[in-house]
Amino acid sequence: MTSFSAPSEEGTKSFWREIRHIFDTEYPQGFMIAEWSYPESALDGCFHVDFHHWFDGYNDLLQKESWRILNGRSEGHSFFDQEGKGNIANFLQKYLKQYLATRDKGYISLPLGNHDLARLANQRTDNELEMIFAFLLTMPGVPFIYYGNEIGMRQLSSDLPHVEGAYKPRAGARTPMQWAKAKNAGFSTATADKLYLPVDDAENFPNVAEQERAPDSLLNRVRKLIQLKKQEKALAAYAEFVPVFAQENVYPFIYARAAGDEVILVILNPANWPAEAEFACNLDLTGKELLAGQDLEMVAKGDAFTVSVPAQGYAVYKCGIA
């Protein structure tokens, strides 16, 4: 992986195109990932995938509030927050520009967390986290899950050792993986003072062993969503992405993924109150199959449909083309 701050420099791109040629020739089974957050440049013959999390649109999704990202600046409201003050249109406008310009050149990754960002679980419940995973695992491109977010690891205090640039909020999101209710959360048998960073010392800290035994744990819900992505052709990295309902400062957000005659419809309402949307589409929703989330009330109105989504509700449907 590489970071890049000046994507317009053709000399830099020329260098990485040469590396890409060598890589494709000698290691055709692999792929190269950039952390440029400039897909139009990173995927211009340079890399196969570009992490796209240093652009404003990503902040609009998950980390717009200063108290959530811990950056000391007040920036606004995340779409995936129960207060329901986010604006999905901000994300979509910026994302679509890059997506449409690069869809035949490589893949955009909207990562599920990152070592430079605060934990996704910062003031979010497991149900809220499940919806975020459902969103990012049904979007185009290649998803990456930052370790521990699949069990809801918490952001620890900022009063932690400054190691390898792990300043606020980095250190609190880089603490050891929590495997079990054991010494050092099962990460190490060393004494606590020998750890790179401390583990979560709360009595109820999330851990893999306990969640593996609980069928409805966040870990097992995430596993089901990963399996869904693997098995549905319309959720492949290259499958078409079509926004269906995405209005300024309005919930829910609805989009479709499609590959051939297979279509997935995703409906998301992170707000802490019911939401309703009317949309037109060329889908046959009469025989739709619920793949994840909860079955929603959907009514046909002429050539359009009206859907009612409960507070913090979502659904992933498989349906046909009308």
**242: in domain:** no
What is the pLDDT at residue 301?
A: 83
**317: in domain:** no
Which residues in the chain come in under a pLDDT of 70? 1-8, 71-74, 158, 165-169
**301: in domain:** no
**102: in domain:** yes
d(CA 322, CA 319): 9
What is the pLDDT at residue 265?
A: 97
Which structure tokens are listed for 257?
A: 């993924």
Residue range of the domain that includes 172: 2-235
Give the pTM. Answer: 0.94
**108: in domain:** yes
Residues with Cβ within 8 Å of 320's Cβ and at least 6 positions away in sequence, in order, are: 261, 263, 283, 284, 287
Q: Which of 206, 223, 56 is nearest to 124 (CA)?
A: 206
Q: Is 45 exposed, middle or buried (0-12, 13-18, 19+ CB in 10 A)?
A: middle
What is the pLDDT at residue 209?
A: 98
**254: in domain:** no
Residue 40 maps to which CATH number?
A: 3.20.20.80
Which structure tokens are listed for 160?
A: 């932690």
**247: in domain:** no
**205: in domain:** yes
d(CA 240, CA 242): 7
Q: What is the total count of domains within the chain?
A: 1
